[in-house]
Chain A
Amino acid sequence: AQRVTQPEKLLSVFKGAPVELKCNYSYSGSPELFWYVQYSRQRLQLLLRHISRESIKGFTADLNKGETSFHLKKPFAQEEDSAMYYCALRGGNQGGKLIFGQGTELSVKP
């Protein structure tokens, strides 16, 4: 079964502290993994995807196929990073649909 698990519902850190938002997935093939972010009262937007291996707003995520994980990391959190973060999976031959994790609310305190 396809599944995305984000074990932390809420993650609270102080400004400048490192952040790691966990994401584990279950998929039989080779999925595409994404991180989406939803700031307060804004629409969902793509943060990064595993294929591009890029750093966006200081965030990075590495796909670990052995551990079936795609954790999101940032070395120094900023207050403006406070938002809901969703990990998502897209499998092949499924019409492009995304399977989302439960989401993690990141709260960065001053």
Chain B
Amino acid sequence: GAVVSQHPSRVICKSGTSVKIECRSLDFQATTMFWYRQFPKQSLMLMATSNEGSKATYEQGVEKDKFLINHASLTLSTLTVTSAHPEDSSFYICSAGASGAVSSYNEQFFGPGTRLTVL
């Protein structure tokens, strides 16, 4: 089946530092990847849509200079939280859109998430 991994699974950093989170589609190519933020027992908030080889499309209210997204290949997208602050502490989840032989209806497969804690 289609598997999406995220690394790291959890990270603790000091305020002011930058943190990079990787999202990989392990057994399929994903033209489009999505980044979400989830608060405890709350909904997933879409942050941005990442397309391979082009700039990400950010949702309203998401600071593109703070949350840098790079989708350099069909199997890897990265989210960098720059100059992190305690309010950025959250659970970040990525998903990858599968098409063709993997999914006839462009199903999104989700990663396990990354728990970011900013001290």
Contact = CB atoms under 8 A, between A and B. Distances in A.
Interface of A: 9, 32, 42-46, 49, 51, 84, 86, 95-103, 105
A51 B95 CA distance: 21
Interface string B103-119: 00111101111000000
18 contacts: A32-B105, A43-B113, A44-B110, A46-B107, A46-B108, A51-B105, A86-B44, A95-B32, A95-B49, A95-B57, A96-B97, A96-B106, A97-B34, A97-B46, A98-B108, A100-B44, A101-B43, A103-B42
Interface of B: 32, 34, 41-46, 49, 51, 57, 93, 95, 97, 105-108, 110-113
Contact of B111 (A43, A84, A100, A103): A43
A56 to B, nearest CB: 14
Among the interface residues B44, B49, B51, B107, which one has the most CB atoms of the partner chain A within 10 A?
B44
Contact of B105 (A42, A44, A49, A99): A49
A55 B91 CA distance: 30
Contacts of B93: 43-44
